[in-house]
């Protein structure tokens, strides 16, 4: 049976009269609160408060309770002396690789595969990642993340992205590996490239944040400020330089709801499992490789060769070469290594920022390669330019302010 | 006319009944705003301010950042008291309380995490006396505001009933 246009409209009207209930919708408190969280004037203060809560709980749980409260005690007081005793008979070089410095009295300074490596992975990174992903899962399930995407949409358009780019960015604060995959929610190649590149350079992962909280608790705010500023400056530049489109999006904002335990547990389990499959092997491998390079004298040689660049251009001591090499395997490991080098407060901030922006860790590198070798090469070129420009600029600011 | 802003349900519930709410959250808003400003002043001075059992932290985190949130909470309360029972206005008051809960919740969580471990040289778990000692004064402004902010639950309940 064929219907003409009028007949079709008549049929639609008949069906809608039978099936649709018309009336005045009354806003509920949930709706009104939901609206408040997406309007910039009210939504930004709420976002500031939620970030505060996120950061405060992260620090209290991972830093104060787990790492400082129990794991430092377990590893420094019991595990390190035990390992030092058990491995006493080993050849010196093997002892150095597995247990580290025989005079060390804490796992931060030992740098052995089985001492610092395990301490970092289990004592520092695990609690940090656990609480980070737990809070993220709660915010997702409550329905806050799409609202944050709407709220930040205008700002992210300035750097060629749109609101949903906040999802990979926040995921990157946990681990850059799933975050690189999450950039696939962006529509165009240009958007994906910008998101992936500035995230790999400027977003510190949860493990790194956990270590920073331990090693530089007083200056972590400044480090993050440098990184966030760099994120937007270089995003803006990339957006202007790269060809391609940055289309608008329509975001479906669901109502606020109570998170379900099943959902949260499932997300948490999935993310922590995948993180651990990547993290533990790389932390241990990183420790071993850096120790071998130290033993072979490669780090010292590199330090001497690169000293003019490190001291002159970046304003950091040449000893930071070792941690920068370790950063390729694990950035958290590199930050921990930096803590053992004697530096001024300014140099420490510079060195931590450099470790963050210098190179994506090898796991992120592998993920980026999966997205395409052109993207990877482009990201690496951007990275080299960024490290030299931004590192040099920060040093210049330090000189002008008289702190360098 | 002012009443035109209300839905029929809200009119039925009686706007005048909520004069108490307007006055209450007006006063709470002013006090919250004052605490927020003092928080920011303490951060700018770089020194904590202590009045008896009240301590306003002078550092950037939690002091400055937290102070900004307390200030926002005060502004939410004050912005919401006009046409108090109208849903969009009332939601601002609720949001003011939520901000206070976030602040106070973080403070309480920080106490709990500090109070459980026994310290570097001590036993694994804090002895009972030390555990309780962590919860002793001085308290931050958000802790003082917490019980007063909970009154909003009564008004949410009242709205549901009507």
Q: Return the pLDDT at B120.
A: 76
Instruction: Identify which has the larger pLDDT, B51 or A210.
Output: B51
Encode pLDDT of B23-76 as tens digits.
999 999 999 999 999 999 998 888 888 888 999 988 777 778 899 999 999 999
Residue A361's nearest CA partner among A386, A327, A335, A333 is A327
Taking an 8 Å cut-off on Cβ atoms, the answer to whether B117 and A69 are in contact is yes
Distance CA(A333)–CA(A326), nearest Å, equals 7
Domain segments of chain B as ranges: 15-161
Q: Return the pLDDT at B3.
A: 42
**In the block, residue with structure tokens 């950037």:** B60
Angle at A76 between CA A72 and CA A82, to 5 degrees: 140
pTM of the model: 0.82
A58 interface with B at CB cutoff 8 Å: no
Predicted confidence (pLDDT) at residue B8 exceeds the cutoff of 60: no
Instruction: Identify which has the larger pLDDT, A362 or A259.
Output: A259
Q: Which residues are within 8 A (CB) of B95 and not within 5 positions of it... i.e. 6 or more apart?
A: A33, A36, A42, A46, B76, B80
Distance CA(A267)–CA(B25), nearest Å, equals 39
Taking an 8 Å cut-off on Cβ atoms, the answer to whether B106 and A53 are in contact is yes
Among the partner-chain residues A31, A49, A57, the one whose CB lies closest to the CB of B109 is: A57
DSSP bridge partners of B50: B55
| Contact (CB, 8 A) for A181 and A170 | no
Encode pLDDT of A158-197 as tens digits.
898 888 888 888 888 877 877 887 888 888 889 999 999 8
Predicted confidence (pLDDT) at residue B79 exceeds the cutoff of 90: yes
Q: Return the pLDDT at B4.
A: 47
Please state which of the ranges A135-139, A175-179, A271-275, A279-283 shows the lowest mean pLDDT.
A279-283
- A321 burial type by CB count under 10 A (0-12 exposed, 13-18 middle, 19+ buried): buried
Among the partner-chain residues A32, A46, A56, the one whose CB lies closest to the CB of B62 is: A56
Is the confidence metric ipTM above 0.90 for this complex?
no
Where does the pLDDT of residue B143 fall: very low under 50, low under 70, confident under 90, or very high at 90 and above?
A: very high
For residues A329-358, average pLDDT: 82
Among the partner-chain residues B7, B102, B117, the one whose CB lies closest to the CB of A49 is: B102
Q: Return the pLDDT at B25.
A: 95
Q: Which of B33, B85, B105, B113 to mutate to test the interface with A (most CBs of A within 10 A)?
A: B113
Q: Return the pLDDT at B15.
A: 54
Portion of chain B with pLDDT greater than 70, in percent:
90
Portion of chain A with pLDDT greater than 70, in percent:
98
Q: Return the pLDDT at B100.
A: 97
| Contact (CB, 8 A) for A277 and A161 | no
| Contact (CB, 8 A) for A47 and A148 | yes
Q: Across the A/B interface, how many CB contacts are shorter than 8 Å?
A: 92
A131 interface with B at CB cutoff 8 Å: no
Where does the pLDDT of residue B13 fall: very low under 50, low under 70, confident under 90, or very high at 90 and above?
A: low
For residues A290-316, average pLDDT: 85
For residues A59-82, average pLDDT: 90
Predicted confidence (pLDDT) at residue B10 exceeds the cutoff of 70: no
């Amino acid at each position: 049976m064929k219907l003409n246009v009028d007949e079709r409209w008549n049929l639609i009207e008949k069906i809608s009269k039978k099936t649709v209930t018309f009336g005045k919708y009354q806003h509920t408190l949930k709706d009104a609160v939901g609206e408040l969280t997406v309007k910039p004037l009210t939504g930004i203060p709420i976002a500031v408060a939620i970030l505060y809560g996120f950061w405060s709980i992260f620090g209290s749980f991972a830093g104060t309770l787990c790492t400082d409260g129990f794991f430092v005690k377990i590893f420094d007081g019991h595990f390190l002396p035990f390992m030092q005793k058990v491995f006493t008979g080993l050849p010196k070089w093997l002892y150095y690789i597995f247990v580290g410095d025989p005079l060390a009295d804490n796992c931060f300074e030992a740098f052995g595969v089985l001492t610092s490596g395990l301490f970092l992975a289990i004592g520092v990174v695990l609690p940090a990642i656990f609480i980070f992903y737990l809070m993220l899962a709660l915010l997702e399930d409550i329905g806050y993340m799409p609202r944050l995407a709407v709220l930040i949409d205008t700002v992210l358009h300035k750097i060629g992205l749109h609101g949903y780019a906040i999802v990979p960015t926040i995921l990157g604060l946990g681990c850059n590996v799933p975050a690189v995959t999450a950039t696939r929610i962006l529509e165009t190649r240009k958007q994906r490239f910008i998101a992936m590149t500035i995230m790999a350079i400027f977003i510190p992962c949860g493990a790194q944040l956990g270590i920073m909280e331990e090693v530089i608790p007083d200056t972590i705010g400044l480090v993050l400020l440098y990184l966030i500023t760099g994120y937007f400056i270089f995003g803006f530049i990339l957006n202007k330089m790269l060809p391609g489109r940055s289309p608008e999006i329509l975001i479906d904002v669901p109502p606020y709801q109570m998170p379900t335990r099943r959902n949260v547990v499932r997300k948490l389990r999935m993310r922590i499992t995948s993180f651990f499959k990547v993290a533990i092997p790389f932390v241990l491998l990183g420790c071993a490789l850096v120790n071998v390079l130290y033993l072979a004298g490669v780090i010292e040689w590199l330090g001497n060769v690169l000293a003019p660049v490190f001291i002159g251009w970046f304003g950091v001591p040449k000893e930071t070469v070792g941690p920068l090499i370790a950063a390729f395997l694990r950035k958290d490991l590199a930050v921990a290594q930096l803590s053992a080098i004697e530096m001024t407060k300014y140099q420490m901030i510079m060195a931590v920022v450099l470790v963050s922006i210098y190179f994506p860790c090898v796991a992120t590198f592998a993920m980026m390669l999966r997205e395409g070798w052109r993207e990877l090469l482009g990201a690496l070129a951007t990275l080299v330019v960024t490290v030299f420009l931004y590192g040099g600029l920060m040093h210049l600011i330090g000189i002008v302010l008289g702190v360098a | 006319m002012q009443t035109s802003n209300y839905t029929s349900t809200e009119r039925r519930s009686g706007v005048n009944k909520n004069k108490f709410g307007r006055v209450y959250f007006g006063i709470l808003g002013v006090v919250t705003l004052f605490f927020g400003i003092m928080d920011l002043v303490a951060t700018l001075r770089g020194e904590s301010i202590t009045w008896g059992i009240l301590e306003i932290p002078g550092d950037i985190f939690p002091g400055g950042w937290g102070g900004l949130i307390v200030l926002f909470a005060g502004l939410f309360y004050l912005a919401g008291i006009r046409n108090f029972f109208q849903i969009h206005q009332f939601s601002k008051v609720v949001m003011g309380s939520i901000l206070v809960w976030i602040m106070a919740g973080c403070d309480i969580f920080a106490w709990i995490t500090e109070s459980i471990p026994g310290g570097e040289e001590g036993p694994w778990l804090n002895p009972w006396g030390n555990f309780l000692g962590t919860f002793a004064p001085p308290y931050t402004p958000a802790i003082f505001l917490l019980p007063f902010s909970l009154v909003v639950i009564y008004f949410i309940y009242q709205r549901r009933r009507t």
